[in-house]
Structures are given as C-alpha cells and as structure tokens.
Amino acid sequence: MKQSKTYLKAFKFRIYPKGDQVTHLANNFGCCRYVFNKVLELRQKAFKEEGKSLSYFDTTKILPVLKRQEETKWLGKAMSQPLQMAAKNVDSAFKNFFSKKAKYPKFKCKNSRQCIKIQQGFRVEEDLLYIPKLKTGIKINLSREIKGKILYLHISKSTTGKYYASFTCEVPREQYDKTGNAVGVDVGIKESCILSSGKKYANIHALKKLENKVKYEQRRLSIKQKGSNSSRKQRLKIARLHERIRQLRETCLHNISSDIIKNNDIIITEDLSVKNLMQNHCIAKALSDASLGKLLTQLEYKSEWYGRTFAKVDRFFPSSKTCSACGAIKQDLKLSDRNWTCTTCHHQHDRDVNAAINILNEGLKKLSGLVTKPDIKQKWDEASSLEESENPDA
C-alpha cells in the first residue's frame, strides 16, 4: 500500500480566556452538551418506538428547529459549527459501538470533559486566538510553531479549570536518516521497555511520591462536608495532582518512543493484549501505571510518521522462555525468574533482554522478503556480548 505524503498531527497550546470570553466558551460547552444529549435521546426514542435508525443528516435537521423554539432559543447564541459537530459525535459514538470499539453512548453531564470543535472562521494573530461570535482575541501561549495546513480546532477545558486550544494539522511526512539498526522491544513493569541491544528505560519513580500524596489528599477529602467550599477546593487539589501524574507519564512515554524511533530503522514489538493482562489483579495496578498500551501505540504511529518499519510478533510466541543463543525452550521458567541459564547451551540470560532479542529475530523472519535486513549478525553479537558482560560467570 502506498504511503501518504502527509499525516495528521495535533499542536496543543494553553489559552487564557477572561471575562466575556469565559462566558462565551461556557455557553458553547453547555449548548454542545445539550445538543449531544438531545440527539442521543431522539435516536434512542426513534429506535425504541419505530425501530428506525436516524442518521447524522436526519439529526442535524433538528438544530434550526431547536433554535426557533422559545424554550431553546438560547442555542442561537452559540457557534453553529460546534453544535453540528456535537450531533456528529453522537453518530460516531454509535458507529464505534456497533464496530465494538467502544461502549454504548452515554448522556453527558456537567462534570464530563468539556470540548468544542471548530472547522472554519478561526485564526491566530501573534499571541491571540480569534473564534466566531467573539470580537476579542483570546490570549494563547504559542510555545512552538504550528506546522502544516490547519484542518480544525478543538477548544477544551480540563477538570482543573485550564483551557487548551488544539490545532489538528495536515503535516508533510518527515524522514529520519537511516541508521542501519533493527531493534526488538519488550515492555515491562519494572522498566518501561527493554531493547534487544540491552538498553533499558526505567519507569518514573516520582509518580509513586505523587500517588501517595493523592491518597493523603483523598483521606482529607473524606472528612470534609459534601458540597462545601472546602470540599470543592480539595477536589480541585486532587484533580491537579492527577493532572500532574498524567503529564509526567505522557512526557516519559513520548521521550522513550521518540528515542527508539530516531535510532532504529526497524522496530518490532509483541502484539500484546493489555486488556487481557489487566485481568490479573496482582499486576493490574502496575500495568496501568506503566501505560504499556500507550507506549506501543506511540511506537506504531511514530514509525509511520517518520518512515520506519514497524512489526508485531504473535502474543503467544514464547519470547521469554526461548534461549536466544540456541533456540531451546525452558518450559518451567517462572515470572519471578529475572535471570536464568539455558540447560542446553549453558548461556546465561537477562530475562527481558533475552525476550527482546527473540522478538527481534521472530519479527525479522516475519518481515523476510519485505524489507532489507540490516547486519543482524552484528546486532545479535552486540546484544550477546552485552549479556555476557552483565553475567561474567557465563
């Protein structure tokens, strides 16, 4: 399949609305939420009473009617594009449900994520963002250059009260310089990921300290009176801590994935089912903190962005139990065995590095004939020598 010359990329910036600007955005958030719930109600009612499935075009016809009705005349103060996109979101939610990508659509409440989408009529001049039906520009912190053709704009408000503008752009595809390197990636809990070269990326230890702080603040919240000002302030404090944890985790994952993509032409991972792994209650919390699914997703889409080859090996391939030196399988290997010795060739292994080497070799077999292999023997020798240096008694 021919690769597109462009890809979609979002550029997200903090914005600082004031006075009437805050009121205007709050009005649009509320109107979009109302339209979403109204369209969802109509679609449910039509199917229940008439067995009829309404399309997106059927539901958009009610918007002019709602604006003319006395009880919903206030919808006319909102921007028209976000209202149409709210109806479109209901249609997308049902499509995702029927394709088993998401759960059945739910009604939105005031505390749910607040966001509007604008496709036309907005512009950025210096450090100001102008949107329809608002005469004054909203201050925006342009921390980096917006590249490519801007397709649409999302304006959102976080649970901590911060506002963001996210520009989705069509960006020309970049090509990193060829490195001649291929790498197998084994994801884990103690380390975020381990490479076949022996390199390991540690998890952020600062998260544990923040998580303990969240527990402490939640205990303080439990003794406060519900609905009081102190209770609201405490909830905001906890939300800010959660936001900080999320930002640290995302920054760490992006740094890891970018480093792997930049330094390797071929990236091979396991086709893990994180959802199934989460069913193990003993490691579910650690897996959630490690965000393995996000890391694998980043490696996949960044490979496409920068012209790298990405492949997955079967999730049932015994990468940890197979000796990367002779191919023998150690059936009795336990999860607690971090280092082990092959009974056939007596080669000593670091469990995770050995798994990454096996993932690399299995992936290259899969790609055989589709890509030009780098000097795999050299990569194998480098990884093996690194393992031996870590295990001098081998």
101-157 residue pLDDT tens: 889 999 998 877 799 999 999 999 989 999 999 999 999 999 999 999 999 999 999
Q: Using an 8 Å Cβ cutoff, are 122 and 131 in contact?
A: yes
Residue 25 CB partners (closer than 8 Å, separation 6+):
17, 116, 155, 157, 163
Residue 17 CB coordination number (10 Å): 21
Q: 30 is in which domain, residue-wise?
A: 6-172
Residue 165 located in a structural domain: yes
Instruction: Write down which residue in 172, 196, 224 finishes a domain.
Output: 172
Place of tokens 């939640």: 218
Q: What mean pLDDT is reported for the chain?
A: 86
Alpha carbons within 13 angstroms on the beta-carbon side of residue 238 total 16
pTM: 0.79
Catalytic residues: 186, 270, 352
Residue 32 to residue 197: CA distance in whole angstroms: 50
Residue 221 to residue 233: CA distance in whole angstroms: 9
Q: Note whether 326 and 192 are same-domain residues.
A: yes
Element (H, E) at 185: strand 182-187
Q: Using an 8 Å Cβ cutoff, are 80 and 120 in contact?
A: no
Q: Note whether 148 and 186 are same-domain residues.
A: no
> 189-248 pLDDT, tens per residue?
778 889 999 999 988 766 788 889 999 999 999 999 988 999 999 999 999 999 999 888
Residue 1 located in a structural domain: no
Can you count the helices (H) and strands (E) in the chain? 11, 14
> Which of these, 115, 95, 100, lies nearest to 36 by C-alpha position?
115
Instruction: Write down which residue in 144, 172, 200 finishes a domain.
Output: 172
